[in-house]
Amino acid sequence: MAERKVTATVRVVNEKGLHLKPAQAVVNLTSRCSSTVLLGRDGQMVDAKSTLGLLALGAAPGIELTVQAEGEDAEAAVEALSRLFAAGFEEPSGEGERTE
């Protein structure tokens, strides 16, 4: 089967950016992929299976990141990452801002 290469752009939409918990979610997702998955910005690409690499990106809210995947499940990996970023890593927004 031919290797596929897929590229997409995702935006960090959660309130706190790409901190430890979202980085671990990315690693958990990409670790299940056989493809090589890279994430980056401004020409700096890191292994999306590396928590430290992801944290080094310093991706604050609103930052756009490039996702590149190459391998048999590249398309599925990019789609899954796109959904994870779009959902804001399913983090609650506005913690502590409840009014009653």
SS3 letters across the chain: CCCEEEEEEEECCCCCCCCHHHHHHHHHHHCCCCCEEEEEECCEEEECCCHHHHHHCCCCCCCEEEEEEEECCHHHHHHHHHHHHHCHHHCCCCCCCCCC
**Which one is catalytic: 16, 19, 70, 91?**
19
Verify whether residue 64 is a known catalytic residue: no
Which residues are designated catalytic? 19
